[in-house]
Structure 1
Amino acid sequence: MNADRLSILYVEDNEMLRATIVEYLEEMSLPVTPVASAEDALERLARQHFDVLLTDVSLPGRSGMDLGRDALTLYPDIHLIISTGHDVSGFVQNMPNTQCLPKPFDLDDIDAVLNNIRQALAERA
Structure 2
Amino acid sequence: MPRNLEIAVIDDDDSFRVALVESLLSLGYEASGYASAEDYLHAIEDRSFDCVVTDVHMPGMSGLDLMRWLTSRGAATPAVLITARSDPNLEAKAAAVNAVGLLIKPFEMTDLIDYIEGAVKA
Q: Which TM-score band (shorter chain)?
A: 0.7 to 0.9
**Aligned residues between the structures:** 118
Task: Tell me whether 1:55 sits opposite 2:54 in the alignment.
Answer: yes
Identity of aligned residues (%): 27
Alpha-carbon deviations, 1:23-65, whole Å to 9, x = none?
1100112111111011101111222221111100111111111
* Bigger shift: residues 11-20 or 90-99: 90-99
* Partner-residue secondary structure (3-state), 1:33: strand
Over aligned residue pairs, what C-alpha RMSD do you find?
Answer: 1.9
Relative to the length of structure 2, the TM-score reads 0.83
* 1:96 match: 98
For residues 1-125 of structure 1, the aligned pairs below 5 Å read: 4-84=3-83, 85-87=85-87, 88-119=90-121, 121=122
| Structure 1: segments with no counterpart, 5+ residues | none
CA displacement at 1:108 relative to structure 2: 2.0
| Structure 2: segments with no counterpart, 5+ residues | none
Distance 1:22 1:107, change over 3 A: same
CA displacement at 1:97 relative to structure 2: 5.0
Q: Take 1:98 and 1:117, find their aligned partners in 2: how far apart are those partners?
A: 6
Q: Take 1:103 and 1:20, find their aligned partners in 2: how far apart are those partners?
A: 13
Distance 1:102 1:38, change over 3 A: same
